[in-house]
Amino acid sequence: MEPNLGSYLQNQIKQAQQIELQLEQTASQKYQLEIKVKELEKTLKELNEIPDGTDIYRNTGVVMYKVLEKKKLIDELEEQKELSEIRIKTYERQQKSLEDKYKELEESLRKSYEQQQKK
């Protein structure tokens, strides 16, 4: 029975490591989106302060082109911001779920370890 318990514990440890990795990736992706939202907010603020009729240029890769409709650009950027905020909330839920799984696994590992120490 001891070898099975050892492999069980090893499996749980591997699962915990995988969850830790997923948590790191989720946090990183969420952080990148938060930065994008802040940049979009700053850009939208600047665009809203620019007087109508002022030439506006948009950078796409290495090409810069003149924006013909300021309103259309603002709408696009607001949509990007909303979508990013939705994705951030999704990452937050995913992060919470992973943290809960990790805590459960940690508790299970602790109990298994304690039981093995009593033998």
Q: Each residue of 20-33: pLDDT tens digit?
A: 999 999 999 999 99
pLDDT at 71: 93
Q: Report the pLDDT averaged over residues 98-111.
A: 91
pTM beyond 0.85: the answer is no
pLDDT of residue 66: 94
- Cβ burial, residue 47 (10 Å; 0-12/13-18/19+): middle
Other CB atoms within 10 A of residue 98 CB: 20
Task: Grade residue 115 by pLDDT with cuts at 50, 70 and 90.
Answer: confident
State the residue for tokens 């909330």. 89
Query: Where along the chain do its domains lie?
Result: 2-118
CATH 1.10.600.10 for the 2-118 domain, yes or no: no
Q: What's the average model confidence in pLDDT over 86-106?
A: 96
| Beta carbons of 80 and 19 less than 8 angstroms apart | no
